Amino acid sequence: MPEFIFSTQQTLALDAIAAGASITRAAAEAGVHRNTISNWRRETAGFHLALCNAQYDRALLFREKAEDLTTHAFDTLRAILTGQDASPSVRLKAALAVVNLVTTQVPPQMKHTIQIEDVLLVPPRNPAVEPLHNLHNSAQPETPKAPPTVQTIRRDQPKTGRNEPCPCGSGLKHKRCCLDNAISAAPALKTSA
């Protein structure tokens, strides 16, 4: 099996996931965005393989711990199912738990292996030239952006205030006469760069 070299962040994420952390918590411990771990899973064969094997080992460990308690668990279930001290609803729940366990128990998946022919060999990345393609966008270094262009807007006529006499000559204040019409049919504005 080929040897894979992981970055410090990838190693921290793998260790956290192997210890039972969620993807979000593992990302926080590694100092990356959680989508970065998803990108590593999708794009880096070695990381995907190590992650699958860590999850398999963890599932196997819990299965072994559960198997150690199986005898006690079945003794307790037997006592509940056969004893008259438990209520019928508790006995029914115990019986359903046994039926559910028997009908849905699936052994853990096999350990994954990878052949060297399956891995696309890529030369090491030069961080000064190539971007960090397998990091989430929010974890990428920001590229400088051009400043936005500013446009000045100029009016053809002076602005009529709300409390000034209406320009239509009615003698009323502008807000009581033509303001609503002026808003809907605003005069054309000139823009100059």
Where do the domains of the chain lie? 8-139, 152-192
Looking from the CA of 66 toward its CB, the CA atoms found within 13 Å total 9
161-182 pLDDT per residue, tens: 888 888 888 888 888 888 777 5
Average pLDDT, the chain: 76
The pLDDT value given to residue 193: 45
Closest residue by Cα to residue 7 from 143, 184, 168, 125 = 125
pLDDT at 123 > cutoff 60: no
Among positive and negative, which fits the CA dihedral 14, 18, 21, 23? Answer: positive
pLDDT at 19 > cutoff 50: yes
Selected residue with higher pLDDT from 56 and 114: 56
CB 13 within 8 A of CB 86: no
The pLDDT value given to residue 28: 92
The pLDDT-based confidence of 138 (bands split at 50, 70, 90) is low
34-63 pLDDT per residue, tens: 898 888 888 888 888 888 888 888 888 888
The pLDDT value given to residue 55: 80
